[in-house]
């Protein structure tokens, strides 16, 4: 499928030019992954798909397994007693620590205050059963001393947001186009897999900061289903983080808190906008603009010339070079 897709892309790109072609072809690939992947065998990526199962409304069946139950002593040892030096971030669930288990495995450990509950265990077992190349795997959990922990595989290269507009990043030296295309496809496959499950799992918090990349820039979607641990009321982070998160939410989510596959796809569109432009969606496209990047994109969706302002100049040149050399993927 990869060779055929490369040929199709080369034919399309050959007749295209400039920023509109860049946005268009990436959008086409994402549309293909999200809406046509469900009828294709997922055996190579999940190891659990029946090639004979096809159709939009038939999902991949999960066989629930027992998630690994970690001991607090083990997690404390892995993080040097949850040292500040091991603290690598903080999200909706709580603080995130990098840890090294006794078997040599690097892990990311999310920690929060919380009374023990069977519901927490059940949710952890369900999410740990979801396995895919483009999803961050939940390895297990821990409940002790009125604290709850989620243990994930550690992804060494961090989030896409750090590479796009992290501190000290320079636009001309950021992610190459071939990596951005690979990241977009990988994230789309991960999201599509969640939507193919039975019952389907809506991510509910898809954003650029939740797309991680490994040492080979393979995209892995993080925090799938994490909102299920938070109940009806989200745990608010710093005010700047709330603003950045809200911009990824579809209008029906912001107004009515109605999450769905469509709201995930909307969030993916905002992610794609950031991936292509190299800017935060909450930014203003220009100094004289009063709209953020998303609002500006909607207002100028039919004016392809405006997208020349959106796409990084060097990224566009790299895109054209790839077309000429016929190395799309």
| Confidence band, pLDDT 50/70/90 cuts, at residue 185 | very high
Decide yes or no: CATH 3.30.200.20 for domain 62-153: yes
Q: Residue 49 and residue 54: Cα distance in Å, rounded? A: 10
Share of the chain above pLDDT 70, in %: 60
Least Cα distance to 10 among 30, 25, 23 occurs for: 25
Catalytic-role residue among 205, 223, 245, 264: 205
DSSP summary character for residue 306: G
Angle at 47 between CA 41 and CA 51, to 5 degrees: 25
* Domain ranges, ordered by start, for the chain: 18-55+171-224+233-325, 62-153
Least Cα distance to 164 among 278, 48, 246, 79 occurs for: 278
More confident of the two residues 71 and 61: 71
pLDDT single digits (tens) 148-183 = 999 999 999 999 998 888 755 544 456 888 899 899
Judge whether 80 is annotated as a binding position: no
pTM of structure: 0.74
- Strand 68-69 and strand 87-90: the pairing is unpaired
How many angstroms separate the Cα of 241 from the Cα of each of 56, 137, 227?
Answer: 35, 24, 16
Least Cα distance to 123 among 201, 217, 210 occurs for: 201
Q: Residue 23 and residue 272: Cα distance in Å, rounded? A: 9
- Is 205 catalytic? The answer is yes
Q: Which helix (H) or strand (E) holds 112?
A: strand 106-113
Residue 83: what are its φ and ψ, rounded to 5°?
Answer: -65, 150
SS3 of 62, please? coil
SS3 of 264, please? helix
CA dihedral 50, 54, 60, 63 (to 10 degrees): -40
Most confident of 28-42, 190-204, 227-241: 190-204
More confident of the two residues 52 and 234: 234
Among 1.10.510.10, 3.30.70.1340, 3.40.50.150, 1.10.10.10, what is the CATH number of 18-55+171-224+233-325? 1.10.510.10
């Amino acid at each position: 499928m990869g060779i055929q897709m490369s040929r199709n892309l080369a034919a399309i790109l050959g007749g295209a030019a400039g920023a509109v072609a860049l946005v268009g072809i990436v959008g086409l690939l994402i549309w293909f992954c999200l809406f046509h992947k469900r009828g294709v065998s997922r055996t190579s990526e999940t190891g659990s798909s029946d090639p004979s199962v096809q159709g939009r409304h038939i999902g991949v069946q999960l066989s629930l397994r027992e998630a690994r139950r970690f001991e607090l002593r083990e997690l404390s040892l892995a993080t040097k007693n949850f040292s500040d030096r091991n603290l690598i971030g903080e999200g909706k669930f709580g603080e995130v620590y990098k840890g090294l288990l006794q078997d040599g495995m690097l892990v990311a450990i999310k920690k929060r205050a919380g009374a023990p509950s069977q519901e927490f265990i059940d949710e952890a077992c369900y999410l740990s059963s979801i396995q895919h190349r483009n999803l961050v795997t939940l390895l297990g959990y821990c409940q002790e001393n009125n604290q709850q922990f989620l243990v994930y595989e550690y992804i060494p290269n961090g989030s896409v947001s750090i590479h796009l507009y992290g501190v000290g990043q320079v636009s001309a030296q950021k992610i190459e186009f071939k990596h951005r295309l690979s990241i977009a496809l990988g994230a789309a496959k991960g999201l599509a897999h969640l939507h193919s499950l039975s019952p389907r799992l809506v991510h509910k918090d898809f954003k650029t900061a939740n797309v991680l990349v490994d040492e080979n820039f393979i995209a892995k979607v993080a925090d799938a289903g994490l909102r299920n641990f938070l109940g009806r009321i989200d745990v608010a982070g710093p005010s700047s983080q709330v603003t950045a998160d809200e911009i990824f939410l579809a209008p029906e989510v912001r107004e009515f808190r109605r999450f769905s596959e469509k709201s995930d796809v909307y969030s993916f569109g905002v992610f794609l906008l950031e991936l292509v432009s190299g800017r935060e969606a909450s930014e203003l496209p220009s100094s004289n603009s009063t709209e953020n990047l998303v609002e500006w994109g909607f207002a100028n969706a039919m004016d392809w010339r405006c997208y020349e302002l959106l796409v990084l100049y060097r990224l566009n040149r790299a895109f054209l070079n790839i077309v000429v050399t016929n190395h799309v993927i």
